Structure 1
């Protein structure tokens, strides 16, 4: 089985959303996981904006990077510069991809204003995961 890992700093928003989309878009030959350099818990607004697209990440857990799984990955996607710079070493055969996306958890303002940021980042992740799934299908 092929393995993919989505990694960001806290495993609370971006990597969780990417995992949700990847589980929907990638074929069953892929094992999909996400993790963080730290475990901040899954952000309720990430859960909400994914539910708007009928993807349920409410039972996901915020986890730290599993070194054993990381070493077995075919693809590792970092979703922030911190994760890219601090991610543990991967084998040379691991395809590494970096998506420099803003952290929606840092959004400020009213709930509606923060939701706009979450939706924008969610949609960017969705588009990138769809493109990646097409690329990995070959």
Structure 2
């Protein structure tokens, strides 16, 4: 199995994405090929090297790069770290999944404290990402029938579910009921259909069951979902807004428990 590839994207590739690249390499070792780039690259802020060195995280190879220079590479994951990059990179990067991690820019604040805060927040997000990516349940079946795939897309709830999961990497039933404003039985029924069709796979973590695109989903099916999301961002914009109002995963878990 080839090593999965990942790129962090920000506007300047001068702070957040550089911190993310170095930290991800530090935490994941050689299990991913990791890159970073900017849509309008600027020189790397010296405080990036300062805070990384303080934590004994290697800064070898860190330099500002233009996203267009990597236009010929296909990534398994593209992670944007600011809203401006998310809006402008969607047509510039080729990736199976595009995720949005929005962090405040630390550069306008004097000193290194804001950089440390971003590094801590990135550490938590990367920890969850690695946990999820390494512990998915391997599906025993593989989608081989194009007709069943397109039938799945023909339902509004299932289509939005797939696009949300592709954008967020994985979601639980509670998160989807909130995002789609549907009942839990209805969401669970559609998830079971997508699981049976080998389009989704799930994993259990404690009392939670999380759903993601099947690891062995054919490339053509992944590309259909990517192009659908790219050309129809408004289709799930309200659903993403409802999901974002739940906060990050720890806050979401608290809300799910309350329900």
- TM norm. shorter chain > 0.5: yes
1:124 to 93, 98, 121: 121
1:111 corresponds in structure 2 to none
CA radius of gyration, larger in: 2
- The answer to whether the 8 Å contact 2:41/2:64 transfers is yes
- The answer to whether the 8 Å contact 1:4/1:74 transfers is yes
| CA displacement at 1:31 relative to structure 2 | 0.6
1:4 corresponds in structure 2 to 6
| CA displacement at 1:88 relative to structure 2 | 3.8
* Runs (5+) with no aligned partner, structure 1: 109-113
1:61 to 60, 63, 68: 63
Give the CA RMSD over aligned residues: 1.6
1:135 corresponds in structure 2 to 132
C-alpha distance in structure 2 between counterparts of 1:76 and 1:62, whole Å: 17
- The answer to whether the 8 Å contact 2:26/2:58 transfers is no
C-alpha distance in structure 2 between counterparts of 1:34 and 1:53, whole Å: 20
TM-score (norm 1): 0.86
TM-score (norm 2): 0.47
The residue matched to 1:136 in structure 2 has which SS? helix
C-alpha distance in structure 2 between counterparts of 1:33 and 1:23, whole Å: 9
Instruction: Decide which structure has greater helix share.
Output: 2
1:105 corresponds in structure 2 to 107
2:17 corresponds in structure 1 to 15
| CA displacement at 1:27 relative to structure 2 | 4.8
Q: Trace 1:15-94 onto structure 2 (pairs within 5 A).
A: 15-57=17-59, 59-65=61-67, 66-69=70-73, 72-89=74-91, 90-91=93-94, 94=96
Residues matched between the structures, number:
130
2:247 corresponds in structure 1 to none
